Structure 1
Amino acid sequence: MMRSLFSGVSGLQNHQTRMDVVGNNIANVNTTGFKRNRVNFQDMIYQQLQGASRPTEDLGGVNPREVGLGMSVASIDTIHIQGSLQTTGVQTDLAIQGTGFFVLKEGDKSYFTRAGNFSLDQEGLLVNPANGMRVQGWMAQDVEGMQFLDVSRDVENLIIPIGAKDAARATTNVNFACNLDKRTIEIPENPTQMQVREGSWSEQIKVFDTFGDEHTLQLLFTRVPGVNNSWNAVVTVDPENPVATNAAIGLGEEAPPTGGPNTFTVNFSNLGTILNAVDGEGNLSGTDSGTPVIMNVAYDVQSATPGDDGAPVRQEFTLNLGTVGGLTNSITQYAETSSSKMTEQDGNTMGYLDNFKIDQSGVITGIFSNGTSRTLGQVALASFSNQGGLEKAGSNNFVVSNNSGTANIGPSGIAGKGKIIAGALEMSNVDLSEQFVDMIVTQRGFQANSRTIQTADQLLQEVLTLKR
């Protein structure tokens, strides 16, 4: 009877533990990124009244006689199944679809979380606003004006400097593709205004100097008289500027020369694709099929301070006309209306960081007021060989334990890590209907164990009254 008392007590205590877990799950039904727990029971040690005996020639074997001494909690597991995603529209809210955890830092201490309700602090750091922990990732590195992400480095704080300046950048490359109408007439020796208009085609492109000042690059194409498949091109920078900018075209070591010619010739094959281009000095660009056809262009920057010799500052860029035999992004000559297909240049004015976006890889792209965009950084994710072994640290955070394994930190989509969804949050994975059923089962188990104690008490009472 005393054994039944203690068994009932263990049942009460451990069902109370299970009820505590159920209550915590229900309390966190709306907690962002919460992962529910479950309790598993196991029976305890047994008191052996009689051991087992093996069969003999005369008798069969006898099973052991054992009386259990109650039950205990076998484990309290964290269930890391995916919670549903809720769209918030907040650009700093992040959710993970799949496995993985965001990495947070408090000093040198690392924490891991599924709750991506982040925001920016005063210094532009991406943080958890509830506790100030800093989101970890990799900031982009600037290499010769290009941004690169090196995810092999240690993670660092992510900074999104809203309002930061984007320096002006001079145009160094202009990609130009168009079609020149094969049917265009040649300009006669004494043309009328109408004949000049019909015998040429022009295009204007915006380019920038080192100050971010905008200039107009004008290309004027005319048929070469008496020559099939050849066009003369005249390059002018700021054609309406009262002060000449002295545009020049050229190839070679000293190209383009100061004050040199500002014309070149484009030659086409009988297939309508570009064959080569020749500058005013007879230098050829474009030989074998697939090789680039380029012209170097220079012009005076009138707003710049002249050099020690009093000469104006020259600004240079490369005019890319396509590739020999190219079609998609090259100049062509077909019997279609002359038109420009592509004009791209890599210069820009100064701008300010206005906005940013985060893609499924966690890459943060800054959008500037001058129309440019630049990679700022990338959010890191961590995965574990046994994520169930992580310890809960409160505030929706986990920490590494002896059985979780070390954190494997890398970009999303790599080594089994999920993808990042911006503008959404992962909700709790608590199923209320399941928790209520579990609550009923727990309550009935608790009641049954209390009845065991009551019944054992009554039996003891009967023993005490035997001597009356």
Structure 2
Amino acid sequence: MLRCMYAGISGMKVNQTKLDVIGNNIANVGTTSFKASSARFRDMLYQNTGEATSVTATKGGTNAKQVGLGAQVSSINKVMGQGNALSTGRSLDVCIDGDGYLLTGSGFVDYSGGNNIDETTNSLTPTTGADKGAMDILYTRDGNLTLDSQGNLLTADGRRVMGYAVTDGTQTTSIDPASGKILSVNADAVDKTTGKSSVAVVGANGTDTKLVPLKVPDTVYGSGSDTAGQPVKKFEIGKDGLITVILGDGSRAAVGQIALATFKNPEGLISVGGNLLQKSANSGPEIIRNGVGTDGTTDNSKGFGDFIQGALEGSNVDLTEQFTDMITATRSFQAASKMVTTGDEILQTITGLMR
């Protein structure tokens, strides 16, 4: 059979793959925080019909004679540029302005010991009650969050948003380890020495900081024995992800901080659908943002983006670019199919020589 036919077939295949990628990009032009993909090609093996020769005393050298065998897909890359921030006016919508991914989990919740990230299994593993299973962890930039009947902060498909419990420097933390109730942590507390907010994540300057599922409750309690509590009138999500509620008496309480993660190679994350991403062998381990109150020597929070409440990140798909790529891929597909047709005509001519 003619080599040109197989080269044409390979050209049709790679351009079909490119059209598949373009079609997915266009379909997700309105998908929250969607990252476009682009397909890249490379040439395939070459068949040598003549070897290269070196220079001699009487003749010059000659180049090798090679016939290419077509094209193949070299990579399908994610375009990681940030989409536009789209205002929604909804208090539960957050846009990450800069680097970072929300950590979302599903599985057994352990408030008493907190949950640590297990780098080996790519999951949040409870420090106690390990017999009840690990919490599966996935990542997303989709800040379309919701609340359930118990005030749990969730993604649109019900996965728990992970973050830190906070303290105001007293024995009080924002989450009661025994009951999971939200306790009052004075968000207006000020360090008398530095004049800065005294709110800090639990264990901020140690090595035992734990990630826990976050809540935005209807009621905040003064202590574990407080059965009445203060009603929550509204809540705010700050640039650093700190969730602050306004109570019925006008006081402000911090109920937790949303955690963020980044990766050395975010293009290496695996899309699993539903705007969720999974860590891979080539993405590198997650780098978790330090919580509020972490000292300056270990604080890495400046390397992460800020939260914008009441907005969502739009898709970064450029329709002009996609339509241009679609035209070129379509014409390339047609040209490759024409090569197959031409090869067929040649074969017809050859077989017609014998009658």
Give the TM-score, by structure 1 length: 0.59
SS in 1 for 2:303: coil
Q: Does 1:7 align with 2:33?
A: no
Deviations 1:395-450 (A, max 9, x none): 00110011000111114872621111111000000011110001001100100000
| Aligned mates of 2:10, 2:91 — CA distance in 1 | 50
| Aligned mates of 1:443, 1:358 — CA distance in 2 | 47
Q: Is the 8 A contact 1:382 1:408 kept in 2?
A: yes
Residue in structure 1 matched with residue 213 of structure 2 by the alignment: 157
Residue in structure 1 matched with residue 148 of structure 2 by the alignment: 121
* Alpha-carbon offset, residue 165 of structure 1: 3.9
**Residue of 154, 158, 169 corresponding to 1:132:** 158
| Aligned mates of 2:43, 2:346 — CA distance in 1 | 24
After TM superposition, list the pairs within 5 Å mapping 1:55-66 onto structure 2.
55-66=55-66
Amino acid at match of 1:125: N
Q: Is the 8 A contact 1:46 1:68 kept in 2?
A: yes
Q: Give the gaps of 5 or more residues in structure 1.
A: 168-348
SS in 2 for 1:26: helix
Q: 1:360 to 1:410 in 2, by over 3 A?
A: same
| Aligned mates of 1:460, 1:70 — CA distance in 2 | 19
| Aligned mates of 1:459, 1:112 — CA distance in 2 | 54
Q: Does 1:417 align with 2:296?
A: no
Q: 1:109 to 1:350 in 2, by over 3 A?
A: closer
Residue in structure 2 matched with residue 440 of structure 1 by the alignment: 327
SS in 1 for 2:41: strand
Q: Is the 8 A contact 2:36 2:316 kept in 1?
A: yes
Q: Give the gaps of 5 or more residues in structure 2.
A: 108-134, 173-184, 186-198, 292-299
Residue in structure 1 matched with residue 231 of structure 2 by the alignment: 352
SS in 2 for 1:445: helix
| Aligned mates of 1:92, 1:419 — CA distance in 2 | 15
Residue in structure 1 matched with residue 138 of structure 2 by the alignment: 111
Deviations 1:338-378 (A, max 9, x none): xxxxxxxxxxx963222110110000011101010011110
Residue in structure 2 matched with residue 27 of structure 1 by the alignment: 27
Structure with the greater alpha carbon radius of gyration: 1
Number of aligned residue pairs: 287
Q: Does 1:389 align with 2:268?
A: yes
| Aligned mates of 1:375, 1:34 — CA distance in 2 | 31
Residue in structure 2 matched with residue 39 of structure 1 by the alignment: 39
Residue in structure 1 matched with residue 247 of structure 2 by the alignment: 368
| Aligned mates of 1:358, 1:415 — CA distance in 2 | 18
* Alpha-carbon offset, residue 30 of structure 1: 0.2
Residue in structure 2 matched with residue 458 of structure 1 by the alignment: 345
SS in 2 for 1:388: helix
Give the TM-score, by structure 2 length: 0.77
Residue in structure 1 matched with residue 128 of structure 2 by the alignment: none
SS in 2 for 1:446: helix
Q: Is the 8 A contact 1:164 1:352 kept in 2?
A: yes
Q: 1:160 to 1:20 in 2, by over 3 A?
A: same
SS in 2 for 1:366: strand
| Aligned mates of 1:144, 1:164 — CA distance in 2 | 16
Q: Is the 8 A contact 2:219 2:229 kept in 1?
A: no
| Aligned mates of 2:255, 2:161 — CA distance in 1 | 14
* Alpha-carbon offset, residue 162 of structure 1: 1.6
| Aligned mates of 2:346, 2:58 — CA distance in 1 | 40
* Alpha-carbon offset, residue 89 of structure 1: 1.1
Q: 1:432 to 1:411 in 2, by over 3 A?
A: farther
Residue in structure 1 matched with residue 102 of structure 2 by the alignment: 102
The structure whose residues are more often strand, as a share, is 1
SS in 2 for 1:457: helix
Deviations 1:308-354 (A, max 9, x none): xxxxxxxxxxxxxxxxxxxxxxxxxxxxxxxxxxxxxxxxx963222
Amino acid at match of 2:216: I
| Aligned mates of 1:376, 1:350 — CA distance in 2 | 14
SS in 2 for 1:352: strand
